[in-house]
Structure 1
Amino acid sequence: MASSSDESSSEMSQETEEKKTTFKDLGVVDVLCEACEHLKWTTPTKIQTEAIPLALEGKDVIGLAETGSGKTGTFALPILQSLLEKPQRLFALVLTPTRELAFQISEQFEALGSSIGIKCVVVVGGIDMVTQALQLAKKPHVIIATPGRLVDHLENTKGFNLRALKYLVLDEADRILNMDFEAEVDKILKVIPRERHTYLFSATMTKKVAKLQRASLSNPVKVEVNSKYKTVDTLQQSYLFIPSKYKDVYLVSILNELAGNSFMVFCSTCNNTQRTAFLLRNLGFNAIPLHGQLSQNSRLGALHKFKAKSRSILIATDVASRGLDIPHVDVVINFDIPTHSKDYIHRVGRTARAGRSGKAITFVTQYDVELYQRIEHLIGKKLPLYKTEEEEVMVMNERVMEAQRYARMEMKEQGGKKGGKRSAAADDDDDTMEATGIRKKVKKFQKTKKKH
């Protein structure tokens, strides 16, 4: 009897020890531990606990972990600690697939390294090359870049090279390669030193990533927090089977039903993202679009407004499905089902982050059944049906159809400007959608309706 109770008490003490792991226990120096406290990173995540000590030993690391698991901290802390030991300009390069993610990583580096005077530069498309060249000439410690724009600078910016680079990070490596950056990544690997530390992070491992691993890492240690494609336990997932023609009505119904929450609504194309934003705005919803056809200022502005909670609905393409850390997202709606099942994991990973709960609702139409079955197969579970009352939903149908008409008019008006491109002024004022002409028509139409 005594031995079994001893065993259970030792198990309990082991558990409490595990719970009490700190960044200091992992070997992180005091100044960076203080920075973690300042960011309210109280205890390391699983991937941080396993990967940081290996990285601090100087090993190359392949980190596989679900989205929202603290990957940025996992590579930022060892890089900053090494930089403290041997200060040097142009010390580290982080390659990432999207502009938004690049800015977010830069924010985290600067927050962690604020007390040690870290200098970062973000090098992405959509921003003036000359301005970036001037920033690079000042030789920052860390460059966070999308592959295409970095290659532009390596080929065209005089005096800029990465021959002294000590650290390379490939973040969201599967997505970098899926977005056809393979040729750019190869060019970058050719012009940086072979003697360097490399960290490769991804939520999903693909054949392309395995090929990249062989090409760029020396004797890497693989840290896999989840071997299976997995969504977090605090996420309530469900699906809604609906006729394609009534998707808009069901979206409006759910937004009304769950009013007061913060939503991310994913669409498959830039066009549908913009159309859905117009539609919801015409119905009085606080929605803002984020997609690849907006200017960089508009994209960052949309993110900022959503993060600052001045907008409660962000309608986005998959440009926002990876890595973006917006803690307050309550509900993710897959308005258009993702073509690649793995993108489902990334999309729904925008909610239920860092131990919080969240909801994910996926719209499945008669055309999406096969894609949806693939998602269920990938995550290894059958999702419950989201309960709705058809009669209650369809009460909104007439109003939604009217809003659809105006959304189409707004899309035409926007498309007619500058051959389909919006003016810079329109982009900066993206929130009003500069559709004053359409707004007047709506009011006129409503007045004449009342008269009749």
Structure 2
Amino acid sequence: MPLPEEASTSTDPVSFSSLGLIKPLLEALEQLKFTEPTEIQQQSIPYALEGRDIIGVASTGSGKTAAFALPILQKLWDEPKGLFACVLAPTRELAYQISQQFEALGSAMGVRCAVIVGGMEITAQAVALAKKPHIIVATPGRLNDHLENTKGFSLRNLKYLVLDEADRLLDMDFGPVIDKILKVIPKERSTYLFSATMTTKVAKLQRASLSNPVRVEVSSKYQTVSTLLQYYCLMPQKEKDTYLIYLANTLAQNSIIIFTRTVHDAARLSIILRTLGFPAIPLHGQLSQSQRLGSLNKFKSGGQRVLVATDVASRGLDIPSVDIVINFDIPTHSKDYIHRVGRTARAGRAGKSITLVTQYDVELIQRIEKVIGKKMELWETDKEEIASLRERANEACRVAANELKEQQNSGKKRKRGGEGGRRDDRDRDDDVVEAGMPTRKRASRGGRR
């Protein structure tokens, strides 16, 4: 197979109108205050309008949703009939965000979108699909479920397929499900594949799904932005909770995302912080979809200033103003660190990240520093203030442990309560399918997002 053609670059100033976009889209862009195209939009939109398949390599926050949404909407304007495009995304929150951007950009066209993700009522989704939306935005597991089980639904007439955050889709073991979907959609279609990194898995997916693509790469080096100030905070392992409370207290006027490795810690820390008077809410994969969206919307609107999240919130989500990212746990993979801290210092704004480092984390932090090509600075702490918080921190930890135990016990009672419990189980199983993990392993690996 021939290698994908590399996109040429130009130094001439570019506007959305010079890219060849139609008036309804230009008006929508103006209303959304999108003043000029980002680099990925400049390079990919002209090729997409020519009908070429696109491989877009660009980091999160680069404007790639509009890079694929605008050409699809322009073609939809020319051929306004039936199901037109399907976008596959790795997480439910990202799927909702992509749908919202399609609807905003296509507001003058009356574009209709359906979001098809796990954790939501499958019958209501079947009704939405029967109404013939123009755009479906889906997580692969639930879309495949509908393809196999929803009578009358198919993708036989699909014109566009988008694989967004392809590296993350494949990291989450969606590969086999995507292969099934590729077998039941038309070969004569346009395909856009967007990814932050070009792994061997992504290259294999590219060969299977794209035809004579043009490759657009706007950032070949995997790095953090220059406006981000990166710090580390040293502490003993047993003092992590106290140090986190100290940081939350010191930075109380800021909007903060705290990232944890496990669902348990996301739930536990949000209770600890709320017990001590901090407006904290959790976001993780074991919440219901309405709870997850509720947490995200409260944080986005500024109603709550602290979001405690697993890596379900680390990629793709555009939260306009995040002052500080705190890594309660250091991610095992350096690229996950880059995605986490990429939630702040977006669109040219300044931001800070603080990573909690214990005696067991030194090698991990050195590995991250090597990847990002810079040394983090030490975040200075006040030992006396930390000591004064210790007793209150320990009491809040006891409160959190009791509350989580009560939640676990009430969850077991609901599960034994007949029909309602069985429905809850099905939703949780959807989560497991979404993450590519066999259902029976969930109990033994509860920390996984």
- TM-score calculated relative to the size of structure 2: 0.89
Partner of 1:384: 377
**Residues 420 and 288 of structure 1: is their aligned pair in 2 closer, same or farther, counting only changes over 3 Å?**
farther
Deviation at 1:142, TM superposition (A): 0.3
Partner of 1:90: 83
Query: Does 2:394 match 1:406?
Result: no
CA distance in 2, matches of 1:25, 1:421: 58
Partner of 2:173: 180
- TM-score calculated relative to the size of structure 1: 0.88
State which of 207, 215, 224 in structure 1 corresponds to 2:217: 224
Query: Does 2:131 match 1:168?
Result: no
Query: Does 2:322 match 1:329?
Result: yes
Deviation at 1:413, TM superposition (A): 1.0
- After superposing the two structures, state which structure 1 stretch, 415-424 or 361-370, moved more: 415-424
Code of the aligned partner of 1:243: P
CA distance in 1, matches of 2:329, 2:53: 38
CA distance in 2, matches of 1:377, 1:327: 29
**Residues 336 and 86 of structure 1: is their aligned pair in 2 closer, same or farther, counting only changes over 3 Å?**
same
Deviation at 1:144, TM superposition (A): 0.1
State which of 42, 67, 76 in structure 1 corresponds to 2:60: 67
Q: Is the 8 A contact 1:414 1:420 kept in 2?
A: no
Deviation at 1:28, TM superposition (A): 1.2
Partner of 2:73: 80
Deviation at 1:218, TM superposition (A): 1.0
CA distance in 1, matches of 2:358, 2:164: 34
Partner of 1:347: 340
CA distance in 1, matches of 2:57, 2:353: 23
Partner of 1:214: 207
Code of the aligned partner of 2:122: M
CA distance in 2, matches of 1:65, 1:395: 46
Matches within 5 A, 1:40-55: 40-55=33-48
Greater relative contact order (Cα 8 A, min sep 6): structure 1 or 2?
A: 2
Q: Is the 8 A contact 1:263 1:332 kept in 2?
A: yes
Deviation at 1:224, TM superposition (A): 1.0
Deviation at 1:421, TM superposition (A): 6.8
CA distance in 2, matches of 1:399, 1:162: 57
Give the secondary-structure state (helix, strand or coil) at the position aligned to 1:25: helix
Which 4+ runs in 1 deviate beyond 3 A?
Answer: 420-424
CA distance in 2, matches of 1:269, 1:291: 9
Deviation at 1:161, TM superposition (A): 0.6
Give the secondary-structure state (helix, strand or coil) at the position aligned to 1:163: coil
**Residues 420 and 254 of structure 1: is their aligned pair in 2 closer, same or farther, counting only changes over 3 Å?**
farther
CA distance in 2, matches of 1:322, 1:356: 18
Give the secondary-structure state (helix, strand or coil) at the position aligned to 1:259: coil
Code of the aligned partner of 2:49: L
Query: Does 2:298 match 1:288?
Result: no
Partner of 1:132: 125
Give the secondary-structure state (helix, strand or coil) at the position aligned to 1:223: strand
Residue segments in structure 2 that go unaligned for 5+ positions in a row: 1-9, 425-449
Query: Does 2:109 match 1:116?
Result: yes
Give the secondary-structure state (helix, strand or coil) at the position aligned to 1:395: helix
Code of the aligned partner of 2:262: T
CA distance in 1, matches of 2:369, 2:46: 35
Deviation at 1:420, TM superposition (A): 8.0
Q: Deviations over 1:292-322 (max 9, x none)?
A: 1111111111111111111000100011111
Aligned-pair identity in percent equals 64
Code of the aligned partner of 1:121: A
Residue segments in structure 1 that go unaligned for 5+ positions in a row: 1-13, 428-452
Deviation at 1:93, TM superposition (A): 0.3
Partner of 1:438: none
**Residues 135 and 172 of structure 1: is their aligned pair in 2 closer, same or farther, counting only changes over 3 Å?**
same
CA distance in 2, matches of 1:342, 1:348: 10
Q: Deviations over 1:357-391 (max 9, x none)?
A: 11111111122222222211221222111222223
CA distance in 1, matches of 2:382, 2:212: 57
Query: Does 2:141 match 1:144?
Result: no
Partner of 1:154: 147
Q: Deviations over 1:48-101 (max 9, x none)?
A: 111111111111111111211111000000000011112221100000000010
How many pairs were matched up? 410
Q: Is the 8 A contact 1:415 1:421 kept in 2?
A: no
CA distance in 1, matches of 2:266, 2:412: 19
User: Which structure has the bigger radius of gyration?
Assistant: 1
Deviation at 1:111, TM superposition (A): 0.4
